[in-house]
Amino acid sequence: MNSKTFVLPFVSLIIVLLALSFSSAAALEITSLSYPTTANHNSQVTATFNVVYSGDIAEITINFTGTTNIGTWQLPSPIVVQNDSVAHPLSATLTIPAHSSGTISASLKADSLNSTAEDTESLSIPIIPAPALDVIDAQPLTKTQNGIITITNTGNTILSSINLSASGDFNISFSQNNIALNPGAVSSAITITLSPSVNLSDLGLGKHEVTITAKDLSQTAATDAITYSVVSSEFCEEGNINTSKISISNLEDTSSDDEWEWKPLDEVEIEVEVENNLDDDEDFVVEFALYDSEDNDFVELDGEDTLVMEISIDEDDSEKITFEFKVPADVEESDGRYVAYVKAYVDGDEETYCNSYAGEDVPSSSVTDIKITRETNEVVLDEISTLDMVQAGETVTVSAQAINIGTKDEDKVKVTLTNTKLGLNLESSTFGLDFGDSDLVDFSFVVPSTAENGVYVLKLTSYYKYKSSSDSYSDHSDVYEVKLTVVGGTNATTTSGAKLAGITATLESDAKAGEEMEIRTTIKNIGTNKSTFVIGVEDYDSWAVLNSISDRILTLNAGESKDITIKFTVNKDASGEQTFTIQSLVGDKLDSKEVTVEIESGSIFSSLASSLNNKTILWVIGAVNVVLILLIIYLAIRFFRR
């Protein structure tokens, strides 16, 4: 009885203690754990999860720890939570080192600092194999030095057979090949040398490239490449030799404000200075060329690969040389594709004394990348030709090349030829012109037998950008002019029998309305005796004022000629074709020559002034009216202010 009394209280105590133990156990859980199924080396992965506490302690502090076989954890800071069974969202970041491989085995643990509550979850993340390599340029390959490269295994797999190969403009060899590298390892320096048969000077001007490719034969994804460019600017046939003896400087494009920016068929003028540093006066040859760096060939300039000038330069002196050419119609729209080259050498001794540069390397020069521009639509005329002189009553043919230098094809193009004095208003048949194409256009007409002797300006214009909806052309070229001299027609001379004076005239200045115009006239004694010629000018009053004639009286031996200068001031309202007559009087015999000039129109203000016909009184009345109006306005303002 006594033993039973003792056992029962003891069992009851155990039951109570167990009950108290279970009732005070904290319920802490990690739930909703989420993370990537795979990972890359040299990256980070993020695991997201919730923590939930539902124990009998009112408030606990939760701490976080983690383990991993690869990388490092960045874990949340400790947090304080209530026993309210609320899910608290959190995240942890695992950093995976470069070149890591295999499977990440990791765990996350949450435990309470003031209770026995805790929970742990595990993670397993395979790392994706990523073979890769990198070729690094340690020393450039040039005409005078070997190249050096290194190779790095930047992936996370073993590269057991890295093969090097090359392709391009010249052959090279490698100091080692078929290399094995562990992840993260760097190869020793690999020397790049030219093959024995290669002489870079033989490659010609411009940029020459070779591409080196590294590829692991067992891992096709592991590949990289590097390109070496070797530039040759030595235009001299044997390379630059004794360059200090010949200085080249100041290469300039003097043809336009947009230096080194050209359009097809532009007239370009290039100037360069050459100095003789030899110990004697010498004859030099200077050459200019335009090089196509994509086709690795010279661009033909006026039918030649290079433009050549010969010049004598005194010792320790310099001379400027000018090259003129027309930009070819077939040059491509580009910026930097075409490169200017210039060289100077002693005539007959290029292999001993020669200096050359690519344009941008010429000292003290303005050279930039040559830019070729094209309009969207543009058809121009070139190679316009006709006879310089023709007999009245004969047939004349005028030819021209119509060239599409725009960037778009032209479905329909036409060309016109006009001259009012000859009654010409001709139009070609229509034709199509694709980009870069050209077509020959011919006009034939008969000069009237009644045409006066003189110079006639024929005008040609191309029309393009055809619109079928309106059957019209929305654009046209500038007006191209060609001069035709007619003889054997109606003579403007009163000389009976043989002429005594040969008279020719040339326009020496612009012929613009409101400006001075200068004519150079050559008088030649075509008689058999020495004669005195009295020079005069007629038939200009309607469009110009005569300023001066440099020589009015000339005494010339038979066959002798002399130039004189005639200056006019062109009326402000003058425009179009105008004529005047040059007269030569020897005794009572009069020879004359009618001259035709094309006058450019003046401004609208000049036309307005001319319309008043120089009536000064109108100007005076107008000025008085303006003054009166201003005075009335002034008095009105004073009155209202009072």
Q: Are 246 and 344 in contact (CB under 8 A)?
A: yes
Do 319 and 249 share a domain, yes or no? yes
Domain membership of residue 436 (yes or no) is yes
- What tokens were used for 591? 């020879």
Final residue before a domain boundary, out of 433, 453, 487: 487
Domain membership of residue 639 (yes or no) is yes
CATH number at residue 288: 2.60.40.10
Final residue before a domain boundary, out of 319, 340, 372: 372
Do 347 and 250 share a domain, yes or no? yes
Task: Give the 3-state secondary structure of residue 502.
Answer: strand
Which residue shows structure tokens 């720890």?
Answer: 65
Do 356 and 386 share a domain, yes or no? no
Per-block average pLDDT, block size 10, for the chain (642 residues)?
44 40 63 96 97 91 96 96 94 97 96 90 96 94 87 95 92 93 96 78 76 90 89 82 94 85 93 96 96 88 93 96 93 92 95 92 87 94 88 92 94 95 94 93 93 88 94 93 82 60 90 93 90 85 91 88 94 92 78 89 49 42 60 64 55
Do 68 and 148 share a domain, yes or no? no
pLDDT of residue 635: 66
What is the helix (H) or strand (E) element at residue 624, kind and residue range?
helix 616-641
Query: pTM of this prediction?
Result: 0.52
pLDDT of residue 9: 44
Do 148 and 52 share a domain, yes or no? no
- CA pseudo-torsion sign 123, 128, 129, 130: negative
Give Cα separations from 479 to 381, 525, 616 (angstroms).
Answer: 9, 38, 38
Instruction: Give tens-digit pLDDT for 134-160.
Output: 999 999 988 778 899 999 999 999 999
Go through the chain and tell me how many residues it has: 642
Instruction: Give tens-digit pLDDT for 494-503.
Output: 555 567 888 9
Q: What are the CB-based long-range contacts (under 8 Å, 24+) for 240-245?
A: 240/354, 240/355, 240/356, 241/351, 241/352, 241/353, 241/354, 242/352, 242/353, 242/354, 242/355, 243/354, 243/355, 244/277, 245/277, 245/278, 245/353, 245/355
Domain membership of residue 565 (yes or no) is yes
Do 616 and 602 share a domain, yes or no? no
350 secondary structure, DSSP code: T
Domain membership of residue 398 (yes or no) is yes
Do 544 and 475 share a domain, yes or no? no
Domain membership of residue 146 (yes or no) is yes
Do 364 and 276 share a domain, yes or no? yes
Q: Are 378 and 410 in contact (CB under 8 A)?
A: no
Do 478 and 552 share a domain, yes or no? no
Going by C-alpha positions, the residue among 553, 490, 488 that lies closest to residue 523 is 553
The CA distance from 108 to 65, in Å, is 6
pLDDT of residue 613: 41
Give the structural domain span for 632: 612-642
Domain membership of residue 16 (yes or no) is no
Do 146 and 117 share a domain, yes or no? no
pLDDT of residue 125: 97
- What tokens were used for 531? 């004669």
Do 365 and 251 share a domain, yes or no? yes
The CA distance from 281 to 29, in Å, is 101
- Residue 263 CB neighbours (<10 A): 19
Domain membership of residue 11 (yes or no) is no
Do 361 and 255 share a domain, yes or no? yes
The CA distance from 343 to 239, in Å, is 11
Overall domain count for the chain: 6
Going by C-alpha positions, the residue among 53, 51, 55, 83 that lies closest to residue 64 is 51
510 secondary structure, DSSP code: -
Final residue before a domain boundary, out of 177, 206, 232: 232
- Residues with Cβ < 8 Å from 29, sequence gap 6 or more? 51, 52, 53, 119
Domain membership of residue 238 (yes or no) is no
Q: What are the CB-based long-range contacts (under 8 Å, 24+) for 329-335?
A: 329/264, 329/265, 329/382, 329/403, 329/405, 329/436, 329/438, 330/264, 330/436, 331/262, 331/264, 331/299, 331/372, 332/372, 333/372, 333/373, 333/374, 333/407, 334/371, 334/372, 335/369, 335/370, 335/371, 335/372
pLDDT of residue 200: 63
